Structure 1
Amino acid sequence: MQTSFQRIVTGIATFLLTVVIAVTGYVSAGWTLLDAIYMVVITIFGVGYGEVQPLTSTTLKVFTILVIIAGVLSVAYTVSGFVQLITEGEIRKLLNVKRMNKDIELLDEHVIICGFGRIGQMVARQLKVAHQPFVVLDNDPDRIELAREQGYLMYLGNATDEMNLEAVQIQKAKVLATVLPNDAANVFITLTAREMNPNLVILARGEIPSTEKKLRLAGANHVVLPATISAARMAHLITNPAAVDFLAQPDGQAGLNELLAELDIQIQEVVIEDSLVGGTIGDVEVRGKGTFIIVALRRTDGEVIVHPGRSLYLAKGDTLMLMGHQGDMPNFAQQAAMRREMRYRGARLRR
């Protein structure tokens, strides 16, 4: 069976061949070229005008009948090819949408990307490389078509609508990344998604720093400010170009890790237990006696504070990230617990 494109090509070729043969036949019968072309046009398209010249010859009458049949059939065949092309496209589109929706229904522990702009496209590329299942949700048909062409699961709809979030299986998703350039939309999506799935990890994009607080109040676990990150990187390129160039190399980070290992330096996480609750960053540094550096503090809500201040208080469940020599990084939680137990026993003995 011929494809729609093949039918169109065959129909046009047959039509042109019919015209050429018909014109040649009338010219051979003694007609002028213009009269022959005119006769072919009014004959094939059935305009209904009279013959240019009387058809007295039986042969010419039979020839004209064949021209009519061949011309009408070739035109009809060409039109049917176009109809088939349109119909197949619509049917294929419907089947693709149906298959796509079925694949989305089977998703589990996946990522939902709300917005397929520049940042959304970069996130999708990275997730595809990492073989992480994800689905794109956007209300722009052109962007959804772009996602389809790249082989991504996609759904056309507004991410602020609960029905669309349900359609992309938000109840079974593990992460939602809302990366729209509109801060108000990101806040609303975060609020809606948090209500629909309390266990969902939500990553939200913010255009201005003041939006970060609103996004966190709405339920975002992490907030990314592209403008702030870009500004910080540009500042580092200005102030520390050599270091940035070194880390930007493919083997830069691997080389740095190897260098730290050779120097017997490691990064260790210390979870804040009861014995350290209420203390400050400065208290931990005093206990360490300069044997390590506190790189960052991660709160229980996911907030990460880089280079925390000495006066910052610690809460239960917080995690300190320390960097120092492997042999000089004691377990402060255990030491504090031992001191606490010793104080408790001493108090009992005094009683």
Structure 2
Amino acid sequence: MLDLTEEVQIVVRRVWIAFIALLITIIIGTAGLVITEHLTISRAIYLTVQTVTTVGFGDIQAQTEAGHIFLIFLMLSGAGAMLYFAGQLMAFLIEGQLAGVYWRRKMNKKIEALEDHVIVCGAGRVGRQVVYRLRKEGAQCVVIEQKEELANELIAEGFLVINSDATHDETLNKAAISKAKGLISALPEDSLNVFVTLTAKGLNPNINVVARMDQPESEKKLLRAGADKVISPATLSGWRMAMSILKPISVEYLETVIHDHNIEMEMVELKIDEGSCLVGRTLLTSGIKQQTGAIVLAILRENQVISNPSAGDEIYQGDLLIVLGLRDQLHRLEELAADFSNCKS
């Protein structure tokens, strides 16, 4: 099945072919009347257009036998070219609208079928980088952007986009917020991000909201509105630029680990569920390092954060382990945590 871009290209190509055919007919008709009737170019064009459009005011008459014969052929071919052009032009207008409606319906159905996706509000400089990173990480996302130009650019890149105002309840419901696991509000104004956060938490109290802020005094307002995390792009950029001067090698290493997918190094969050063979064991006796090679960077336990845990720290049910490792190491760790047979005493 053809997508919207291919359908539009085909229709536009047909319109251009019809226009060129009509233009060639007018040129040939003009030249023929100049030769057979010895008319000026302007009068020949006038009579040709009259004939092709079937208007026929009758103020110019053919005076020669050759002119009459030529006009007969011009009437037949010209009327055909004109009807073909008009038909293709109407097809472009009608099919273009129908294709747009079909594409929007298809996109809405895809959005309705999503679960555990991320909603990104705003596709400006920050929002666009967010959706690119989400796509690279393989996460499903829906973008809400009010500016039609930006929305169309992302649609052309294959993103699911809703061209509307993210502060409206109806818009967030269209983005299937009730089934979404997270929302990132990256709008350019702090007041809009506060409003989106309030609206999102009202529609889905369990959704994880990350909000952008530009002014430091907006952080408390966003947290009071329900944001789970508030990020300042200016602060992060400033820290990164300063560290790139002070500790360039360390920053380069971290960027390589995080962004270079050829290394396949990832950082994941591993939830320790009930029945896991890791419950009640220390990091040393759990076999995480020995059997998988992954490194536990921190343990999140309720409101407590245990950074750089020691080998004697015990793992409890409900803990969230922050783990760094290669993809195959992390895969082995997931198997170790879920399958008791992989645990060694």
TM over 0.5: yes
Describe the shift of the 1:150–1:236 C-alpha distance in structure 2 as closer, same or farther (beyond 3 A).
same
Q: 1:156 aligns with which of 159, 163, 171?
A: 163
Question: TM-score, length-normalised on structure 2?
Answer: 0.70
Describe the shift of the 1:8–1:217 C-alpha distance in structure 2 as closer, same or farther (beyond 3 A).
closer
1:37 & 1:196 partners in 2: Cα distance?
Answer: 66
Residue 27 of structure 1, CA deviation: 4.7
- Please tell me the residue identity of whatever aligns with 1:123: V
Describe the shift of the 1:200–1:80 C-alpha distance in structure 2 as closer, same or farther (beyond 3 A).
same
Answer whether contact 1:246 1:252 (CA < 8 A) is retained.
no
- Please tell me the residue identity of whatever aligns with 2:306: M
Describe the shift of the 1:180–1:33 C-alpha distance in structure 2 as closer, same or farther (beyond 3 A).
same
- Please tell me the residue identity of whatever aligns with 1:165: L
Describe the shift of the 1:98–1:332 C-alpha distance in structure 2 as closer, same or farther (beyond 3 A).
closer
Answer whether contact 2:37 2:64 (CA < 8 A) is retained.
no
Describe the shift of the 1:5–1:131 C-alpha distance in structure 2 as closer, same or farther (beyond 3 A).
same
Q: 1:97 aligns with which of 96, 104, 107?
A: 104
Indicate whether 1:48 and 2:33 are aligned: no
2:258 & 2:184 partners in 1: Cα distance?
Answer: 29
Describe the shift of the 1:43–1:215 C-alpha distance in structure 2 as closer, same or farther (beyond 3 A).
same
Residues 198-207 or 230-239, more deviating: 230-239
Spell out the pairing of 1:147-296 with structure 2 (5 A cutoff).
147-249=154-256, 267-269=297-299, 271=301
Q: 4+ residue runs of structure 1 moved beyond 6 angstroms?
A: 251-257
1:239 & 1:15 partners in 2: Cα distance?
Answer: 69
2:264 & 2:172 partners in 1: Cα distance?
Answer: 43
Answer whether contact 2:201 2:207 (CA < 8 A) is retained.
yes
Residues 36-45 or 107-116, more deviating: 36-45
Aligned-partner SS, 1:194: helix
Residue 188 of structure 1, CA deviation: 1.1
Aligned-partner SS, 1:63: helix
Partner residue of 1:319? 304
Residue 330 of structure 1, CA deviation: 4.6
Count of paired positions: 279
Aligned-partner SS, 2:94: helix
Describe the shift of the 1:246–1:210 C-alpha distance in structure 2 as closer, same or farther (beyond 3 A).
same
Residue 332 of structure 1, CA deviation: 11
Answer whether contact 1:115 1:138 (CA < 8 A) is retained.
yes
Partner residue of 1:300? none
Residue 67 of structure 1, CA deviation: 1.2
Indicate whether 1:132 and 2:117 are aligned: no
CA RMSD of aligned residues (A): 3.3
Residue 199 of structure 1, CA deviation: 0.9
Partner residue of 1:301? none
What percentage of aligned pairs have identical amino acids? 29
1:87 & 1:245 partners in 2: Cα distance?
Answer: 54
Question: TM-score, length-normalised on structure 1?
Answer: 0.69
**CA shift digits 1:55-95 (9 cap, x unpaired):** 253x5323212212322221221122122112221111000
Residue 114 of structure 1, CA deviation: 0.8
The structure with the larger Rg is 1
1:252 & 1:10 partners in 2: Cα distance?
Answer: 48
Aligned-partner SS, 1:86: helix
Aligned-partner SS, 1:181: coil
1:270 & 1:77 partners in 2: Cα distance?
Answer: 70
- Please tell me the residue identity of whatever aligns with 1:154: V
1:138 & 1:320 partners in 2: Cα distance?
Answer: 36
- Please tell me the residue identity of whatever aligns with 2:109: K
**CA shift digits 1:143-174 (9 cap, x unpaired):** 21112111111112211111111111111111
2:172 & 2:127 partners in 1: Cα distance?
Answer: 17
Contiguous gaps of at least 5 residues in structure 2: 1-9, 267-288, 317-345
Residues 78-87 or 178-187, more deviating: 78-87
Answer whether contact 1:135 1:168 (CA < 8 A) is retained.
yes
Answer whether contact 1:266 1:325 (CA < 8 A) is retained.
no
Answer whether contact 2:114 2:179 (CA < 8 A) is retained.
yes
Aligned-partner SS, 1:107: coil
